[in-house]
Amino acid sequence: MSDGQQSQDNTSASRAGSRHSPAVASDVLPETLYLIPIPQRPFFPGQVQPVAINPQEWDSTLQAVAADGHGLLGLSYVDQHAAGSADPRQFPEIGCVVRLHRPPGVDTPGHFLAQGVKRFRIVRWLTDTVPYRVQVEYPRSQGDRDSDEIKAYSMALIKEIKELLPLNPLYSEELKQYLANFNPNQPSLLADFSAALTTAKGDQLQEILDTLPLLARMEKVLVLLRREREVAELQGQITSQVNEKVSEQQRQFFLREQMKVIQKELGISKDDRSTDIELFEERMARLQPPEPVQQRIDDELHKLSVLETGSPEYGVTRNYLDWATQVPWGVTSADKLELKHARKVLNAHHDGLDDVKQRILEFLAVGAFKGEIAGSILLLVGPPGVGKTSIGRSVAGALGREFYRFSLGGMRDEAEIKGHRRTYIGAMPGKFVQALKEVKVANPVIMLDEIDKIGASFQGDPASALLEVLDPEQNSDFLDHYLDMRVDLSRVLFICTANQLDTIPGPLLDRMEVLRLAGYIAEEKLAIAKNHLWPRLLERHGVQDEQLKINDAALKYVIESYCREAGVRNLEKQLARIIRKSIVDLVEGEQSRIRVGKKDIETLLGQPVFQAEKLLRGPGVATGLAWTAMGGATLAIESSQVHTLNRGFKLTGRLGDTMKESAEIAYSYVVAHLKDYGCDLDFFDTSMVHLHVPEGATPKDGPSAGITMATALISLARKERIKRPLAMTGELTLTGQVLAVGGIREKVIAARRIKIPELILPAANRRDFEELPDYLREGLEVHFARTYREVFEFVFQEHRREKALH
């Protein structure tokens, strides 16, 4: 049979089959069709759906269809990525011929309404460029549609569709459309409709379209429908769960609103505005505010009473009143002004620091005599780890006051001190108002930590903002920008801490009374370790005292070989390491009790960090004393004759400008007085002298090494070494005067730490030395010099040495 005859027979058969469908009874299907590829999913017979295409690409095809007059077009499924540039080889063999009911117009270019008519099979391509034109045939569905099997599958499909209908209303719209155009008794159209109803992938649906045997097609469609029902049921469950949660929240919301209305009608409760006003009035009834403060708060309460609760201004006013009514206006705690109690608390919390504790007791005694403590700001200055913060806490405990601490380190915004204007979003009061709110009394102890590390930026200068706070003459009327009311801070005891004074602005430093904490000697560290650090660490690690012990020899070895800094923070870290390593042995069961001795320290902590210091000895070497932010330190100064070719003087050791000036002065003084000190008059004229301060990686500066440098140069010129352990400090002038220096306590501690028994200090510092505790002065031979001539005699002429002051 030829292709033409077969096509004619198929056409006749198609016409015969169309008598059963009112929608296609009048269709006369042509042998040739124009084709358009569609992405995403294929089109099915019986389906009525809008189709969107690219009008620029397929306009010629639509014009050709319109020219034919029958309004029929072939739609073939092509993968979405290839639909825009489809090749004839990418078109499937089976497609669907559709009737254009609403062709594209001016208002809707690229959109038309299509009704699926029948499957077609491509027999031959007539054109392989747009517009595509093909010769087609119209295959019939294979199988007896009146058989019991087909009827059973039809009933199964209808059942699945009925179960889908309650799950999604869109399915019912599709079914209404199907029933309006087709006879439900047609199994082929029923299978195609059922497939089009699902959300299966395009390849799966194309497989349905390609399947001509009716029974096989209905089997595949039934699988897709059941999967669609399972997905729809799962989606329904998820939606139901979400709706339950939402409806429960809505129900609770409506019930709450109804309850509020009922309570309001019965007079049981009030609205939010009345509740807020009552809360603020109740707070103010417990306080004793000054008259201007009470007036201001009354004005704000009146303003709150007339504002709408939903307005932004209501929220701003409410937040303001919330802060203003929590400031403890006129509420103070009673001070404990018993010196015995204060002395007991200070001694229980700290070992050593006797001079500092005595000064605090004096401060408390004045308060006890006067009946109140106010008008004094203490500044504790000392190296890290010496207990500045804990002393502040102890003072609060001794007085029975509330304690509040915050750090000023790195603070760059003055609003942190004085608050923000309340018109800004997120505005808050300053730290001092926040502190008063938290402690709930107007006379706490407020500790300002790290006041020497306060910063400044384009946002403001917090140090300048502190001037008003830390001035006893002004802080009774401290103005916070947020509250915009005067707050009395005069009853607050301010205690500040710093590591050094250099970075504190002068006007701010002038408002504070300075107490220096120089650090601890080895004996004090031993007492602190035994009485405070070791028991506290055992408790922190959950170890019983009888399980782990350490003897005094081990503690001394740790202090001298691992922890020579001024404070005890590093000592606490090393002791914690010992406890952790010992706990490992306890947990592993090797020992039930551990006793740590000196011989165990290197096993637990490794090799010692510090070796026993040996004083440098020899011609041209002298030992000085220096102050650093970490405490006192010894400073060896070396001088050497490099060559005798010419005159010269060289300095090394990373010295600051002040120390370079001291070296130049010492050099000039020694050169000018060579004859007075028994030196070769030509020594410096023919010598290149190199003066070096060891540890060149450490910056060194300060006016306290003048006499040490001069002594080193005279020792070099005399070729005579200093015969005994001796350290000195003092600044030298060109006329040989020895000037006073600072940091005497730190320097004495540094000398004791390395067991130097003899010191030379400026005569102007005699009082500083005599004010030191007895345990620091004990065993030291100290000479006080007014001129360098006296220094020279103490160092090089032993028969002129005077007895030391103890």
The residues carrying an active-site annotation are 704, 747
Can you tell me the distance from the alpha carbon of 293 to that of 264, in angstroms, rounded to the nearest whole number?
A: 33
> Which token pair is 388?
């500045």
Q: Please enumerate in sequence order all residues whose Cβ is within 8 A of that of 445, keeping only pairs 6 or more positions apart, or say none.
A: 392, 395, 396, 399, 401, 402, 403, 404, 492, 493, 495
Q: Considering just the CA atoms, what is the radius of gyration of the chain in Å? A: 49
Residue 359, judged by CB atoms within 10 A of its CB (0-12, 13-18, 19+), counts as middle
Hey, which residues does 516 pair with through a beta bridge? Answer: 381
Instruction: Find out whether 779 and 804 touch, Cβ atoms under 8 Å.
Output: no
Q: Please enumerate in sequence order all residues whose Cβ is within 8 A of that of 680, keeping only pairs 6 or more positions apart, or say none.
A: 674, 717
Q: Are strands 548-550 and 594-596 parallel, antiparallel or unpaired?
A: parallel
State the DSSP string of 629-657: TTEEEEEEEEEEEEESSS-EEEEES-B-H
State the DSSP string of 529-574: IIIIIHHHHHHHTT--TTTEEE-HHHHHHHHHHH--SSSSHHHHHH
Q: Cβ–Cβ contacts within 10 Å for residue 692, how many? A: 17
Q: Cβ–Cβ contacts within 10 Å for residue 539, how many? A: 11
Can you tell me the distance from the alpha carbon of 514 to that of 204, in angstroms, rounded to the nearest whole number?
A: 88
* Helical pair 598-605 and 552-562, crossing angle rounded to 10 deg: 40
Instruction: Find out whether 203 and 81 touch, Cβ atoms under 8 Å.
Output: no
* Helical pair 339-349 and 354-370, crossing angle rounded to 10 deg: 160
Q: How many CA atoms lie within 13 A of 514 on its CB side?
A: 16
Hey, is 718 helix, strand or coil? helix
State the DSSP string of 10-72: HHHHHHHHGGG-TTTTT----SEEEEEEE-SS---TT-EEEEE--HHHHHHHHHHHHHHSS-E
